[in-house]
Structure 1
Amino acid sequence: MSVRWGILGAGNFARQHMGPAIHAAQGADLVALATTSAEKASGFLSFCPTLTVHPTYDALLADPQIDVVYIPLPNHLHVEWVNKALDAGKHVLCEKPLAMNASEIPALMARRDQTGLLVAEAFMIVHHPQWKWAKEQVASGAIGKLVHVTGRFTFDNRDPGNIRNRPETGGGALRDIGIYVIGSARFVTGEEPSEISSRIRWENGVDVFTEIGATFPGFTYSAYISTRLHRGQEMVFHGEEGLIRLTAPFNANVFGEARVDLHRPGLEILTKRWPDSNHYVLQVEAFCHSLRTGEDYACPLEFSYGTQEMMDRVFDAAQSL
């Protein structure tokens, strides 16, 4: 039996990526959307013509035909509408960042445990096979002892009207894309930082460039993110006996081909490619699988709490550029 999904809001990301992914995923059925805009709704109806369009968010939450609510709303609204969805008895997949700070997440964990509903952050990369393979290689010792991790994620977004450039909606580069360079390092290594340093450049109340340095129990870490630079992304895990490089780690097959290079002694490079994997579809299918079977979800709230806590510490440690 298919798991029935509704989308709370009709933003561009939901229309371009997650809406089509829910519609395409095996075991999922996209049945409803909440929006007051007929124009925005038409973009979803073009690929899912049977969609029920509700005029309000509350109407969608009251729809008995929906099992799961996907929330792609602006950052500052996430916790509020996750709680409202739980009040309505719905499972929830919420876009990142799940919360504005880590202190908000324990209450969501408690509500998850109390209700028995599945609540998760839409950190899609952990479902992509390139990241699963990278994690396996580091764990197996394919690069020897891990010594240093580096990351970067940048693009140029100077539109003052964009919600990512508005402080009142929880905008800024760190919450938008910093979560990836932070969360991916934690996912692969399973470690948490003991020390953090950072430098942030601000424009009009939002962070637009951040440098991060950190010490983890087993390795050191450096990364930078920006919404004012030419687009680029990469993650590197450098060990004593090898190196793993992900060349399109966060927007696989959009920024570039999903590819992982494993550099080994003797200038040998093993390259793995996944040209057909869609991490949004895989995320939806994994969520549905956990609902049906009760098996652990790859990105539980405990993992999201750790990523948010590290982001909070980056903000707290920051010196201004």
Structure 2
Amino acid sequence: MKARLQDYAREAGFAAMGICRPDSVPQIAGRLQDFVDKGRHGQMGWMAERMHWRGNPSALWPEARSVIMLAEPYTPDHDPLEILDRPDRAAISVYAQNRDYHDIVKKRLKRVGRWLLEQAPGHEIKVFVDTAPVMEKPLAEAAGLGWQGKHTNLVSRDLGSWFFLGAIFTTLEIEPDAPERDHCGSCTACLDICPTRAFPAPRQIDARRCISYLTIEHHGPVAEELRPLMGNRIYGCDDCLAICPWNKFAAAASEMRYAGREDLLEPKLAELAALDDAGFREKFSGSPMKRIGRNRFVRNVLYAIGNSGDPALSETVFPLLSDTDATVVDAAEWALARLSDLQD
């Protein structure tokens, strides 16, 4: 049964599968509590509010007996770090350069889940893709898919760092796999490359300093001391993923909808800053970037313009000084002042 499930999961588009018990990660409750107690979750209040479920997968659905963890690669065919040397262009996290992975992965999970129910009538399933209080990475480690590296992301000997995770909780008893052990060794590449020093220690992250958090989850102005460190990253940050040596074993992405759209691989900052709400919604329809809204997006673009060192981009900034959003105005004022300082 398990072997046939794995074969079907691969047929559905997943590159790897592992099984664990819902109670196989007892350590995460304490880690999560410490993370929240130190305020490292920033404005992500839902982490504290739903901690009981997030810290205990068994509490999320007490009837579940097995958790099927599945991995789907989105490995880029280019070096995501190269765009950082083009300050007039925007750096967008690889996962967000095309269609929203939530929709694609969830459809595949449901397909695998339906097959499982056909094989085991009378049982139930629930599928999760980053949309419920589920700690996917510790569960995936317990299921043998990889290990949480020093950057807290999952790393696999077979898939590298570039893969999405999905979970199927089921009332069916399935033999669990052995957990994966850590293979980071003495390497600290992911910690060393972080521009904002968001890792207080190996396997610990302070979201309040993480560029992915700052550009996606953080509302309002970003702390001024962090803005210059963001460079031209306007949505997410791939530095710690891209530098990982295990990526030499990364599996190629088979889903073409993960391949970067031509207009999002190296978009011009000037064009992005000019987007109004309607233009933003049209450009990012079906993209995960749509969720942050035009104002937060333009805020990020203005920080990147301020870091560009290109005085010609000032012309793009001037109209935004009278924007209706106060955070955009603040970012525009900062960008102009920064460009002026860099010229001096």
TM-score bin (small chain) = under 0.3
Greater relative CO (CA pairs within 8 A, separation 6+) = 2
Higher Rg: 2
Query: Whose strand fraction is larger, Structure 1's or Structure 2's?
Result: 1
Query: Whose helix fraction is larger, Structure 1's or Structure 2's?
Result: 2
TM-score using structure 1 length: 0.25
TM-score using structure 2 length: 0.24
